[in-house]
Amino acid sequence: DISHASQRLFFDVAEHTRMPLVASHSNAFAVTPHRRNLTDEQIRILADKGGVMGMNFYPMFLNPDMNRDEASAAMIARHVRHIADVGGVDVVGIGTDFDGFEGKNEIMSSDRMPLLAACLGAVFVGVGTGISVRAGGAICGDDALAMCIAHVTRMKIQYASDLHLEM
């Protein structure tokens, strides 16, 4: 997991690994310029390596005004949209970090996730990028889970191959 990695460590890991990279709770620096958020270059590298990044719901990583400790589902959707535009919808997942932040967010628990699904649908409607409304909503559902399972399975197979083990 490279969510807490410095930029230098991120690029070192990306250079020296063949495995997909995971940033379990990171957002887009271009939307909110917090040092923990990933740059467009980092997002493209994640996508190129078959990696995934989970949206972090911490207000300081979402709100363009990083001095405000409040965030909304619409802010999360803006990050998702930007990341999907840069790296593709397959790189986006949900990381929440519910257990690791303070502040006010419209989504503070999983029972509020339908708000995010509604915002994602609104952000992807009528956009000529080839991203369907269903794909935007799928980020919150079974497709994201299937993507994570596929990544873990691929990592296990690659690890076994690297060690010349039988699976």
pLDDT given at position 138: 46
- pLDDT tens, residue by residue, 103-132: 787 887 777 777 777 777 666 655 444 344
Q: How far apart are CA 118 and CA 115, in angstroms?
A: 5
| Distance in angstroms (rounded) separating the CA atoms of residues 63 and 7 | 21
More confident residue, 133 or 7: 7
Is pTM beyond 0.85 here? no
pLDDT surpassing 80 at residue 166: no
- Per-residue pLDDT band for 30 (boundaries 50, 70, 90) equals very high
Residue 163: band (very low, low, confident or very high) from pLDDT cuts 50, 70, 90: low
Edge-to-edge strand list for the sheet holding 52-56 = 22-23, 52-56, 92-96
Provide the terminal-to-terminal Cα distance of the chain, rounded to the nearest Å. 24
Contact 166, 112 (CB under 8 A): no
Token pair of 35 as six digits: 């040092």
User: Which residues neighbour 14 within 8 Å (Cβ) at sequence distance 6 or greater?
Assistant: 21, 45, 49
